[in-house]
Amino acid sequence: ALWMAAGLLWILDASINISMEPFRAFVGDMLSSEQRAMGFAMQSFFIGIGSVVASLFPWMLANWFDVANTALPGEIPPSVMYA
């Protein structure tokens, strides 16, 4: 089970890198050399903010909007499903 989880994590990481690389290249192609470092920094900042918001979103739905965060065994809680 541990090897399966490690393999799936590796596949997930590779797929995220494959999907993000065109956007990284786009920033490098569209900005001048003076703006390129700031462009990559801003891109990394917004990716990080998006990751934090995405991980907090189920909690926000459950605590701020009263969306249920529990489910029957074998089902996905609504707060996770809507997030």
Give residues with Cβ within 8 angstroms of 59, minimum separation 6.
Answer: 69, 79
Predicted local distance difference test score (pLDDT) of residue 20: 79
* Tens-digit pLDDT profile for residues 55-64: 999 999 999 9
Q: Is 43:27 a contact under the CB 8 Å cutoff?
A: yes
Show the low-confidence residues of the chain (pLDDT under 50): none
Q: What is the distance of C-alpha 82 from the center of its chain?
A: 15
Q: Is 60:69 a contact under the CB 8 Å cutoff?
A: no
Single-letter amino acid, residue 78: P
* pTM of the model as a whole: 0.65
CA distance 2 to 13: 16
Q: Is 72:78 a contact under the CB 8 Å cutoff?
A: no
DSSP conformational letter for 74: T
